[in-house]
Amino acid sequence: MPASTAPQVPPQQDPQHGPEHETTHGPQDAPPAPQDAPPAPQGAPHLPPRHDTPHDTPHDTPRDAPRGAQPDSQVPPQQDPPEEPAAAPRPQSRGADTRALTQVLFGQLKGLQPGTSEHHRVRGALIEANLPLVRYAAARFRSRNEPMEDVVQVGTIGLINAIDRFDPDRGVQFPTFAMPTVVGEIKRYFRDNVRTVHVPRRLHELWVQVNAATEDLTTLHGRTPTTAEIAERLRITEEEVLSCIEAGRSYHATSLEAAQEGDGLPGLLDRLGYEDPELAGVEHRDLVRHLLVQLPEREQRILLLRYYNNLTQSQISAELGVSQMHVSRLLARSFARLRSANRIEA
């Protein structure tokens, strides 16, 4: 009896390992593509069809899975991506935050008793929160050649005054209320303390020393020290002392009305000359003097009374005993004769 051919049975899968534990082949020894298996003879065990799914292999990645895919059991725990640094807030948002914080702090300050530690703390927080407003106002004065730190300190005084006077119930935003006060304080500082004439830094520093030495020597001797004594005290030349004194005059304006010390004379304003109002008519009088002799005597007198003695037409009419209308006609006729004579001579 001929030997029966054994049916070809697909290799069984290991339930614990899956198809990946079969013998693997390299790229050159890869087995041919699977073909449809012939129908199994009668009596052969019925095997379920093979399905390669990701769940068949708990440890290895199936061949038919997409590249890079891993089974659930091998997926590493996902880590949150590193947090990116928060972007700097925009100036508008910072300004809005400052305004909101200022409103909250003013609400707290309103219910606190002045002089208490809590009132002092909230007031200090208000000052600190609104310092950018002071820096913004101080930046407008960068061209004044003054240290910006000094300008900011002066503006902060104005900010404190604005905080103490601000009433949140009036419905006005605090920056709108505080800006004029801060700018006004800075302008007052430049008006009262900053010289209009630029003084070199060395002379400015030396001028401070000269002032201190002058006060010390005045207290010591009971009189105003001489230039030589100040120079000897500071170990500088007399020319440098005089230069410092001259530079120091640019810090303070000299009063025109105050009396001068020592000479007993009135102030500078009283000793200054003034413009004589008659001076403006000198040239005109010289021009018309030789023309007046060509006029009748009455017209000459009327012109002299009107433009040399500055009398009105009413006063001239009373002086001559004629009507004001007649004086007006005589003046007009005199002007016409003078113009005519002047054109002839020209």
pTM above 0.75, yes or no: no
> Considering the chain, what percentage of its residues have pLDDT values greater than 90?
26
Looking at the structure, do residues 179 and 134 belong to the same domain, yes or no? yes
Dihedral sign for Cα 144, 149, 150, 156, please.
positive
From CA 180, how far away is CA 177, in angstroms rounded? 7
Looking at the domain assignment, is residue 222 inside a domain? yes
More confident residue, 74 or 95: 95
Q: Would you say how long the chain is, in residues?
A: 346
Residue 162 belongs to what domain range? Answer: 92-193
The stretch 81-86 carries a mean pLDDT of 52
Residue 273 has pLDDT above 90, yes or no: no
Q: How are the residues of the chain apportioned to helix, strand and coil, as percentages rounded to the nearest 5?
A: 60, 0, 40
Question: Could you report the per-residue pLDDT of 103-135, keeping only the tens digit for each?
Answer: 888 888 888 888 899 989 999 999 999 999 999
More confident residue, 344 or 73: 344
Q: Cα Rg for the chain, rounded, in angstroms? A: 53
Looking at the domain assignment, is residue 183 inside a domain? yes
The token pair that represents 278 in the structure block: 């008659």
Question: Could you report the per-residue pLDDT of 39-58, keeping only the tens digit for each?
Answer: 544 544 555 555 554 444 44
Looking at the structure, do residues 148 and 217 belong to the same domain, yes or no? no
Q: Which of 155, 178, 193 is the last residue of a domain?
A: 193
Looking at the domain assignment, is residue 27 inside a domain? no
Q: Give how many domains the chain has, as a whole number.
A: 3
> Which CATH number belongs to the domain containing residue 119 in this structure?
1.20.120.1810
